[in-house]
Amino acid sequence: MATSEKPVAEEMGTDGGEPAWSVALLFPRQGQWTEGDYLGLNTNHLVELSGGVLEVPEMPTDRHQAIVGFLFARLLAFVSAGALGTVRVAPLPVRLWAGKLREPDVVFMRTEHRDRITDQVWGVPDLVIEVVSPGSRRLDTVIKAREYAQAGIAEYWVVDPESGTISVSILTGSAYEKRPPAIAGATVRSETLAGFEVGVREVLAAA
């Protein structure tokens, strides 16, 4: 049915395409975000908090998510079979220390550390897996490696689809022991979860 009524946007003198910039004024400025502000965000997008600054990682690709899904499924099956703990996949806030919250791709927490888990945020997990995206290489391999070691995460896996490698770092003292990355044809094994292993080729083939 035809109507002569004008759209609301037209009545207000706008085509509806301008962002609602004033909404930003309802949120803290960068550098002033608190954990309460961060945890109060109503979004299912990956968002991290570092030193009062919100960091928004790039959207994951299908290849990234396929690898994450494969590793999550394999790790979950292994952990569930032995009732060893809890496995989760991003998005899930993990508090490394006060004011530092990251959202790793896959995390594992031992049963004896389940008191670190709350409904809204995890404490320091026992194992973390990150899958490198084109824009996250330095973040995953340098920055997060340093942060995860500082937080005391016992084991850190970095899956790099571009280079076709998986690096497993084990915490020794306050830093990760540097080991050569595993390439296609090799098998990577966990020290934190004795018996858990995956082939590099099968992980990368998941994509």
Residue-wise pLDDT tens digits, 141-173: 999 999 999 999 999 999 999 999 999 999 999
Question: Is the pLDDT score of 62 beyond 70?
Answer: yes
Query: By mean pLDDT, which of 6-20, 30-44, 54-68 is the weakest?
Result: 6-20
| pTM given for the model | 0.86
| CA atoms lying within 13 Å on the CB side of residue 82 | 13
pLDDT at 42: 79
Q: Are residues 132 and 184 in the same domain?
A: yes
Q: What is the CATH number of the domain that holds 118?
A: 3.90.1570.10
Examine residue 103 and state whether it is found in any structural domain, yes or no: yes
Answer positive or negative: Cα dihedral of 25, 30, 32, 33. positive
Q: Quick check: 87 and 79 in contact, CB under 8 A?
A: yes
> 65 is written with which tokens?
């998510």
Domain that holds residue 39: 17-55
Tell me if 66 is assigned to some domain. yes
**108 plus 144 within the same structural domain:** yes
pLDDT of residue 21: 66
Residue 67 pLDDT > 50, yes or no? yes
137 within a domain of the structure (yes/no): yes
Query: Mind giving me the DSSP string for 44-68?
Result: -S--EEETTEEE-PPPPPHHHHHHH
Q: Helices marked H in the chain — which ranges?
A: 8-11, 35-39, 62-81, 137-138, 144-151, 200-205
State how many domains the chain has: 2
Whether 9 is covered by a domain: the verdict is: no
The distance in angstroms from the start CA to the end CA of the chain is: 49
Is residue 1 situated within a structural domain? Answer: no
User: 66 with 120, same domain?
Assistant: yes
Q: Indicate the DSSP class of residue 162.
A: T
* Judgement on whether residues 95 and 48 belong to the same structural domain of the protein: no
- Is residue 156 located within the same domain as residue 192? yes
How confident is the model over 69-128, as pLDDT tens digits?
999 999 999 999 999 999 999 999 999 999 999 999 999 999 999 999 999 999 999 999
Q: Which residue has the higher pLDDT, 15 or 19?
A: 19
Whether residue 4 is predicted with pLDDT greater than 70 in this model: the reply is: no
68, 98: one domain? yes
The answer on pLDDT for 15 being more than 50 is yes
Here the tokens at position 143 are 């920055």
